[in-house]
Amino acid sequence: MSRRNNSTLTLTAMTRILLRRRRAALVSLACLLPGTLVVAALWPLRYEAQLVVERRVSKVSPEPHMQEFDMTRLTSDTQRNVTLLKSRFMMDRWLTADGQGDLKDMARERALKKLRRALSVQPVNFTDLTVLKVRAASPERAEQLASELGQVYADWDTDQDRLQATEMIRLLDSRITQVKEELIALRQQLKKYKTTGLVSLVGSDAVAGTETELIAKEKLYDSLTAELDQAQREIQPESLRRVRLVNPPIASRKPVHPERF
């Protein structure tokens, strides 16, 4: 009856076996090498760059002392930012900023898919901060892509704020013109009442009603004028820039775990 060999195969023993059977070892190596190259091509090493962006909100909570922990506002705004950053719209702009805007059809779709899979968006709870992580074949390429995305996002947000502020100014200006015309008409009517010397009860009521309406319109005019001044201040470049890149893109010199792209 044969005895079972329970000895452990050590690295030294394996080396001796390979040296004794060189031909078999070379054949095995030749078979393994193409497979290793295929695996390396399909699952290349990736380097990750991280960028932190902050987006200030234009509308705050009605309770100033609770503004910092306004969970409803922070949560909804965070969800919108994550959805926007991963949207096809933003991917198209990112691709154009990377110099690949001329790609068409399937080539463009592959490039967009690659960018989307390279991006990770991680909001920081209960803050206006969002962490963008971008993976690429080299640290320099990862930093470049992260920088391009951050700039695209900041420029888009500024353009949107400018459009909204411009539209608000147009609406306020139109409303102020309308209220100004109503004020002129009320003042002329009140002047007419006073010059005709109405002393009857009906005339006195009409004068009182006109004066009350005139006061209300003057308050409305002052309020609209203040809103217009605020909107004109907000359209200035320093006020429109609500997205701030907290740090320049930083990529680790150590690759992250392999990932198929």
Q: Annotate 24-51 with three-state secondary structure.
A: HHHHHHHHHHHHHHHHHHHCCCEEEEEE
pLDDT in tens, 154-198: 888 888 888 888 888 889 898 999 989 988 888 888 888 777 765
Query: 179 and 126: one domain?
Result: no
Residues 97 and 117 in one domain: yes
157 plus 215 within the same structural domain: no
pLDDT band with cut points at 50, 70 and 90 for residue 95: very high
| Angle CA 80–85–90, to nearest 5 | 120
Dihedral, 207, 208, 212, 214 alpha carbons, nearest 10? 10
Shared domain check, 150 and 59: yes
Nearest C-alpha neighbor of 149 from the set 225, 65, 109, 89: 89
Apex CA 115: angle with CA 113 and CA 117, to 5°? 70
Looking at residues 2-11, what average pLDDT do you find? 54
In percent, the amount of the chain with pLDDT more than 90 equals 22
Domain count, the chain: 2
- Tell me: do 188 and 146 sit in the same domain: no
Matching residue, tokens 């353009």: 159
Provide the token pair at 196: 């005709």
Residues 124 and 245 in one domain: yes
User: 69 and 117: one domain?
Assistant: yes
pLDDT of residue 15: 64
CB atoms closer than 10 angstroms to residue 144: 17
Checking if the pLDDT of 64 tops 60, the result is: no
Instruction: Compute the radius of gyration of the chain from its Cα atoms.
Output: 34
Does the pLDDT at position 238 exceed 90?
Answer: no
CA distance 222 to 57: 26
Query: Phi/psi at 41 (nearest 5 deg)?
Result: -75, -40
* Same domain, residue pair 56 and 156: yes
CB distance 228 to 174 below 8 Å: no
Q: Which residues pair with 52 in a beta bridge?
A: 131
- Same domain? For 70 and 193 the reply is no
180 and 158 within one domain = no
Contact 130, 85 (CB under 8 A): yes
Mean of the per-residue pLDDT values for the chain? 76
**211 and 154 housed in the same domain:** no
Tell me the pTM.
Answer: 0.63
93 occurs within a structural domain? yes
| CATH number of domain containing 149 | 3.30.1890.10
Q: Which DSSP symbol is given to 128?
A: S
What's the pLDDT tens digit per position in 203-229? Answer: 577 777 888 888 888 899 899 888 888
Residue range(s) defining the domain that contains residue 80: 47-162+241-251
Q: Domain check: are 55 and 91 in the same one?
A: yes
